[in-house]
Structures are given as C-alpha cells and as structure tokens.
Structure 1
C-alpha cells in the first residue's frame, strides 16, 4: 500500500488529519507532519525522514499545503535523494486526503498520484443558488 504523509505550515497537517479521522476513521499508513514556528528546515527534514521510516513502505505520496513552501521543498528534496519512490503534491484539501486515503488499495504510486490530483480538483465546489422558474404559458396544464 502507498503510504501518505500530509505536511504543511503550522498545524495544517495534524489539523486536517483530525478532520479526516472524524469523517473517515483512521486509515493505515497515513501520518501528519507539522512545520511549526519552533521548527527549522533541518528539524522538518528530520521529522519527514522519520515519518518515511515509520510508514515502512516503498511508495510514498507526500501531500503538502503550498507549492514552494518549506514542507513542499524539503519533501521534494528528500524524494529526489531517497531510495524509495516518493512523489510530492501541493494544494492539499480535506476531500483529497479522505478519498485518496480510502481508495488507494491496489493502486501503485502513479495511479494514487493521478487519483489524488483529480480528487483535489473535484473537491472544489461552488455553491450556486438555483431559482425555480415558473412556467407562465403552459397550454397543456403541466
């Protein structure tokens, strides 16, 4: 099974995983790593490497909050130098985490990445007020 690390600034990771667990329970091989004000890039790197070891899997998807931020850059740097197959995505949202965590069984990392990207996009919805139009000239009475 592909392991998933959620990471981001502040308590983004543990906060969004708290919400995900409330909705979907506690999926296996899913962890959160925060980058708080007390961390440095070096401590973040140590935390992510420890998370990779904890997942104990060869394929890992890292879901980061922002492209270009420290959690994203550190994860990408680790991914490039790791002997494990690691992919990093940004723009993580709650729907993306829940769907990806629950529907990754039997998929390889490339399939999980494609699914996560699509799920993240389709999780974004706009509320639209629908107004019923009355039919004024209805000769059939319907």
Structure 2
C-alpha cells in the first residue's frame, strides 16, 4: 500500500460555529452532506456510501471547534490516517471557515480535493450558506 500524504483545505462558510459544529460532529448532521448514512456507537462512527462502509473512531473533539476521526481497520484497530474538521473564526471580521485535514495517496490528492469541494458545497447548501 502506498503511503498517504497529509493535505489541508480551507472553505469559507456563512454560518455560526455552533450550527456548523452540529453538521460536522453528529451522525444526523454528517449524513446530510458527508455520507449517505452515518451511524454511531459511542466514539465509533460508521460512514456508509452506496455499498461501501468505513469505520472511524472519534480521536478528539472540542465542542464548537473541531472533531477528528481516526480511521479504523476491520479489526477495530486504529490506522495511521484520520480526517479532521476544524472550525475557524476570524476574531475581527467573525468570518467562519472550515479547515479540512485529510490524507490521500500522492497521485490522488487532486481527486480527493475535488471530492471535498463537492461535499463542502453540499454542506453549504444544507445549512443555507450559499
């Protein structure tokens, strides 16, 4: 398996940090824009896309600010990879943006970036931040 590289993306979102946090940290919020369906049992989340299912564990979170999901393998063992969604708010302008930290194989970063752009577009549509 190829080693994945870390990349970061930032998206401007017209929303309050509190509302945005609900959409990035709860199964119901995530299933509206990130995956077809999301289930959780405690700190374990299952993300479902079509016939594909991936599991992750909440590695860390700070209410209203960020959540980090670490991918786990079929034996429920943490992998080296995670994705983190971090809400940034400019102290002066109060502009809100969402920082995405994720991993992809080097030759797939452009494709992964495009996927995130589409998903964030869906998120903006869902929360009325067009």
Q: Which TM-score band (shorter chain)?
A: under 0.3
Which has more helix, going by share of residues? 1
Please state which structure has a larger fraction of its residues in strand.
Answer: 2
Higher relative contact order (CA 8 A, sep 6+): 2
Computing the radius of gyration from Cα coordinates, the structure with the larger value is 1
TM-score, length basis structure 1: 0.26
TM-score by length of 2: 0.27
